[in-house]
Amino acid sequence: MFDYGFTEEEKMIKDLCRQIAEEKIRPHSQEWDEKEELPENILKTFAESDLFSICIPEQYGGMGGGLVDLCIATEEISRIDGGVAASYAASFLGMFPILLFGTEEQKKKYLPEIASGKKLAAFALTEPEAGSDAAAVTTRAEKKGDKYILNGLKHFITNGGDAEIYTIIALTNKNKGPRGISAFIVEKGTKGFSFGKKEEKLGIRASSTRELIFEDMQVPKENLLGGKEGSGFIVTMRTFDQSRPGVAAQAVGIAQGALELAVSYAHNRMQFGQKISSFQGIQWMLADMAAKTEAARALVYSVARAVDRGEKNIGPASAAAKLIASDTAMQVATDAVQIFGGYGYMKDYPVEKFMRDAKITQIYEGTNQIQKIVIALDLIKRYGK
Amino acid sequence: MNIIVCIKQVPDTTDVKINPETNTLIREGVESIINPFDMYAIEEAVRLKERFSGTTTVITMGPPQADFALREAISLGIDQAVHLSDRSFAGSDTWATSYILSQAIKKIKDFDLIICGKQASDGDTAQVGPGIAAHLNLPQATYVRKIDKIETKGAKQTILVERLVEDGFEIVEIEMPCLITVVKEINEPRMPSLRGKMKAKKAQIPVWGKTEIGADSSKLGIEGSPTHVVKIFTPPQKQGGVVLEGEPEEITEKFVNDFKQYL
């Protein structure tokens, strides 16, 4: 890995996350994947090590720092287990809307609980009929006195059931299109809030994905994010601008983990009387995998740095990072399985999990086709004269 | 409750080499870690502090690089550290080492409990902890696997512990201040925290030599150590033996013939 000019603090985060991933996650990764479970004690370890507090400002109980910190942590955890990383990063996905758009009261109430790791967060946008088309949500929020009554269903929600704090996107005025969508902060245990089935997934199986069901769920108006209706669409878009580099970092970590496994295997596997790493065909594959992973990483950290510098119009770059890194992860993980040959296809070896985990990074937080739309619309706006 | 934890920096390997001339460990080129048993001592101190508040202090005797071990202890939640380092300490045996540590503890003064790991993974003597208690004339409990209770009885404070013995465990109540050495069953050490790591990086760690701790020069280093290592060697490995095959009569005859040469 090249030197990205990480600060002392950033290196500290990297070292700590690597240590936790190696010592506390690697020995259990296969088991958690098989059983589709994320034991509470690993989240407790993250909390005790302050990993939930990075990139939350100090006045709200965080460590300060920015998106680079979150990308470093997510990459290191993903290098060992993309599923554990999904749950970790998804808490930040639930946190970002509060940080970016919450009122001072909302920030003071919820951010310290998320930063300390006492409460896991989640973001709930997707519905059976509204995925890529975010503006098509049908979950309704009707204002009655000083409350909103929410009815509807969200699905494919990462950390669903495990999280205590949810940012929920719902329709407050169906006649206003995207401007009729609002965001609410809802706590687990709210009357009328229940959970549907837990999804069985191809990859990132340690993280839980569930349906959220709202039946006449009463939400006090203080929990309307930012205190105003109609900002739900912009909340969603700005949140994704922040969170997509995190998905990209997850993808880089998965690629790195798969690459390391492939190199190690190739250097030990004997065929035709020699190590297969001595064959140029394998060497070229490994070199391509490494070069692409590094290129993706360089893009991810330069975008994360740009976000931390406060640059505007970060959406297209953020989308590009997610697009490139996730495609890289899929290709590198697939090639890693190829280098393992038949063994790579077997569950006895860890590499197939990386291929399964990589796939989701091309799909969630906007499919890569949606990322291309974000990039293309920006291009046309700039140069389409 | 104020707690002092004594730790040792050890080579991160079981494959240590010995200098044949001095009969001491060769430490160069081997990565150093906190003695694994001391990690349980650190964790127990941090847990007690979380329950009863107070201050936790970690001390070690060792060369300049032992500073890293002290900073790691701070990253794990220990409040402050003292580094005991002096050329005259070099080559100290367990008696001299426990004397030096006890002198430092006398200087720190205000403590209720001293916690040590049961033994160090390099020397495996398990003598330094008990040695410190002896030098300080304190009650002690070794091989503690659980602290059951800490309570105040009149003017006295006592600690009730379970200590591991060969065929089970004993429950012992001792008066504080006292020293305990702990075994791995006592807890599961936590990971460092980011805040702890930042604190560790910035921590000012005083280095105390023989003057600072008011040590008697004749009790330090190789000369102050009653232990003299005559020889350290690896015992020869047992040979696998010979398997004789064939009919019973043949085997017996061969065995008797072979055996005769040893008579």
Nearest to A19 among B191, B198, B201 (CB): B191
**Which whole number is the average pLDDT over A170-174?**
95
Number of domains in chain A: 3
CB of A44 within 8 Å of a chain B CB? The answer is no
Does A200 lie in the same domain as A269? Answer: no
- Is residue A1, in this structure, part of any structural domain at all? no
* Residue A86: closest CA among A253, A241, A200: A253
Instruction: Report residue A303's pLDDT band, with 50, 70 and 90 as the boundaries.
Output: very high
Residues of chain B contacting residue A54, judged by C-beta atoms under 8 Å apart: 194
Contact B190, A42 (CB under 8 A): no
Does A337 lie in the same domain as A298? Answer: yes
CB of A268 within 8 Å of a chain B CB? The answer is no
**Which whole number is the average pLDDT over A377-384?**
96
What residue type is assigned to position A304 of the chain?
A
B198-254 confidence digits (pLDDT tens): 999 999 999 999 999 999 999 999 889 998 888 777 777 777 788 888 899 989 988
B147-197 confidence digits (pLDDT tens): 999 999 888 999 999 999 988 999 999 999 999 999 999 999 999 999 999
Does A169 lie in the same domain as A298? Answer: no
CB of A173 within 8 Å of a chain B CB? The answer is no
Nearest to B191 among A9, A12, A24 (CB): A24
Distance from CA of A144 to the nearest CA of B (A): 45
- The backbone torsions φ and ψ at residue A46, rounded to the nearest 5 degrees and listed phi first, read -55, -45
Distance from CA of B191 to the nearest CA of A (A): 7
**Which whole number is the average pLDDT over A334-338?**
98
| Angle at the Cα of A207 from the Cα atoms of A125 and A117, rounded to 5 degrees | 85
Contact B108, B82 (CB under 8 A): yes
* Residue B32: closest CA among B74, B76, B64: B64
Does A185 lie in the same domain as A142? Answer: yes
Cα(B193)–Cα(A46) distance, rounded to whole angstroms?
Answer: 9
CB of A45 within 8 Å of a chain B CB? The answer is yes
Cα(A167)–Cα(A102) distance, rounded to whole angstroms?
Answer: 11
Go through B8-42 and write b for each residue having 16 or more CB atoms within 10 A of its CB, e for each that does not.
Answer: bbbbeeeeeeeeeeeeebebeebebbbbebbbbbb
CATH number of the domain enclosing A27? 1.10.540.10
Nearest to B191 among A8, A20, A54 (CB): A20
**Are A49 and B201 a contacting pair at CB < 8 A?**
no
- In the prediction, which pLDDT does B14 show? 61
- Is residue A354, in this structure, part of any structural domain at all? yes
Beta-bridge mates of residue B175 = B158
**Which whole number is the average pLDDT over A228-242?**
94
Residues of chain B contacting residue A45, judged by C-beta atoms under 8 Å apart: 190-191
Residues of chain A contacting residue B201, judged by C-beta atoms under 8 Å apart: 8, 12
Does A148 lie in the same domain as A19? Answer: no
CB of B107 within 8 Å of a chain A CB? The answer is no
Interface test with B, best of A12, A13, A17, A51 (most B CBs within 10 A): A12
Distance, CA of B171 to chain centre: 22
- The backbone torsions φ and ψ at residue B161, rounded to the nearest 5 degrees and listed phi first, read -130, 155
Does A114 lie in the same domain as A20? Answer: yes
- Is residue A245, in this structure, part of any structural domain at all? yes
Does A244 lie in the same domain as A114? Answer: no
Distance from CA of A188 to the nearest CA of B (A): 28
- In the prediction, which pLDDT does B233 show? 76
A147-158/A209-220 β-pairing = antiparallel
**Which whole number is the average pLDDT over B76-88?**
96
**Are B193 and A50 a contacting pair at CB < 8 A?**
yes
Does A292 lie in the same domain as A165? Answer: no
**Which whole number is the average pLDDT over A76-94?**
97
In chain B, which among 183-242 make CB contacts under 8 A with chain A? 190-195, 197-198, 201
The count of residues in chain A is: 385
- In the prediction, which pLDDT does A329 show? 98
Q: Is A62 exposed, middle or buried (0-12, 13-18, 19+ CB in 10 A)?
A: buried
ipTM of the complex: 0.86
pTM (2 decimals)?
A: 0.87
Does A290 lie in the same domain as A159? Answer: no
| Angle at the Cα of A13 from the Cα atoms of A12 and A17, rounded to 5 degrees | 120
- Is residue A80, in this structure, part of any structural domain at all? yes
Interface test with B, best of A11, A13, A15, A16 (most B CBs within 10 A): A16
**Which whole number is the average pLDDT over B2-31?**
80
Range of the domain at A250: 233-383
- Is residue A90, in this structure, part of any structural domain at all? yes
**Which whole number is the average pLDDT over A85-109?**
97
Residue B177: C-alpha distances to residues A315, B116, B141 (Å): 62, 14, 12
Closest B-chain CA to A21: B191
Catalytic machinery residues of A: 365
CATH number of the domain enclosing A341? 1.20.140.10
Contact A125, A174 (CB under 8 A): no
**Which whole number is the average pLDDT over A352-373?**
97
Average predicted confidence (pLDDT) for chain B: 91
**Are A48 and B201 a contacting pair at CB < 8 A?**
no
CB of A380 within 8 Å of a chain B CB? The answer is no
- Is residue A335, in this structure, part of any structural domain at all? yes
Q: Last residue of a domain, which of A231, A250, A285?
A: A231
CATH number of the domain enclosing A206? 2.40.110.10
**In the structure encoding, which two tokens stand for residue A198, read together?**
């837990």
Does A251 lie in the same domain as A221? Answer: no
Q: Last residue of a domain, which of A85, A119, A153?
A: A119
In chain A, alpha helices (H): 8-20, 29-35, 40-48, 67-80, 82-101, 104-115, 232-268, 280-309, 315-340, 351-361, 368-383
Instruction: Report residue A289's pLDDT band, with 50, 70 and 90 as the boundaries.
Output: very high
Cα(A17)–Cα(A76) distance, rounded to whole angstroms?
Answer: 6
Distance from CA of B135 to the nearest CA of A (A): 37
Does A239 lie in the same domain as A223? Answer: no
All domains in chain B, ordered by first residue = 3-233 (3.40.50.620)
Q: Last residue of a domain, which of A180, A206, A231?
A: A231
Nearest to B197 among A16, A45, A48 (CB): A16
Residues 6+ apart with CB under 8 A from A249: A70, A71, A72, A74, A75, A78, A89, A300, A304, A325
Q: Does A205 have pLDDT greater than 70? A: yes
- The backbone torsions φ and ψ at residue A346, rounded to the nearest 5 degrees and listed phi first, read -95, 145
- Is residue A65, in this structure, part of any structural domain at all? yes
A270-271/A274-275 β-pairing = antiparallel
Does A154 lie in the same domain as A55? Answer: no
| Angle at the Cα of B48 from the Cα atoms of B45 and B52, rounded to 5 degrees | 140
End-to-end CA distance of chain B: 68
